[in-house]
Amino acid sequence: EAGVAQSPRYKIIEKRQSVAFWCNPISGHATLYWYQQILGQGPKLLIQFQNNGVVDDSQLPKDRFSAERLKGVDSTLKIQPAKLEDSAVYLCASSRGWKDTQYFGPGTRLTVL
Amino acid sequence: QQQVKQSPQSLIVQKGGISIINCAYENTAFDYFPWYQQFPGKGPALLIAIRPDVSEKKEGRFTISFNKSAKQFSLHIMDSQPGDSATYFCAASNFNKFYFGSGTKLNVKP
């Protein structure tokens, strides 16, 4: 079974630029999560999808972050415009259902200069 | 407000020794407590998990001890090996929300 795929693996941008991350969850997994992991900290949930609907986006900075999950499969997370404090690893995870084990992708390391 | 507090921040253990990582929580509504292992450049991977109706769960060399009254749980790694060197995160979940601890970087010396 293929794992959670993410791209790109690394991204370096200037502040105020835009960036987008892509995630392809494990086939058949209805629940998809985006986490932000700042260096030296644990992952922080940004948004959770159940199929193509948003379950929780309470910690998503909606003035600059947006996410979508078209057709309940792939998902994209966008930051526009980026700030220095957005430098982090962005992790995507998926699970069969919202109570099931989460499987994480390798993450995208974002550096904002 | 940090929902899950994890300690220590880093840990050095000799090969064959016991590694112990502790976590504490406040929200009594949490009903699922997983531990994740993360290697550099990789995403976290589920190691072992426990629900509050049991006090201990063991899988191979990994054991979770859970103290509901104290609102604490810990990970014990027996016979620690250099391959166990990684960052470990505890987490707590209520319904669909997962809260992670700040992580413990474990270094097992050969």
For B:47-106, CB contacts with A below 8 A are 49, 89, 91, 95-103
- What is the distance between the alpha carbons of residues B4 and B87, in angstroms, rounded to a whole number? 16
- What is the distance between the alpha carbons of residues A57 and A25, in angstroms, rounded to a whole number? 18
Nearest residue on chain A to B47, alpha-carbon basis:
A101
Nearest residue on chain B to A38, alpha-carbon basis:
B102
Q: What is the token pair recorded at A69?
A: 């999950």
Distance of CA A92 to the CA centre of its chain: 5
Residue of A34, A8, A3 whose CA lies nearest to A22: A8
Note whether B39 and B84 are within 8 A (CB).
no
Q: What is the token pair recorded at B85?
A: 């060197």
Choice among A58-62, A92-96, A97-101, B50-54 with the minimum mean pLDDT: A97-101
Residue A1: what pLDDT?
A: 64
- Could you read off the pLDDT of A27-65 as tens digits, one per residue? 999 999 999 999 988 999 999 999 889 999 999 999 999
Q: Helical H runs in chain B?
A: none
- Residues in chain B with pLDDT values less than 50: none
Contact at CB, A41 and B102, closer than 8 angstroms: yes
Note whether A33 and A94 are within 8 A (CB).
yes
Nearest-CB residue to A42 (from B41, B43, B89):
B89
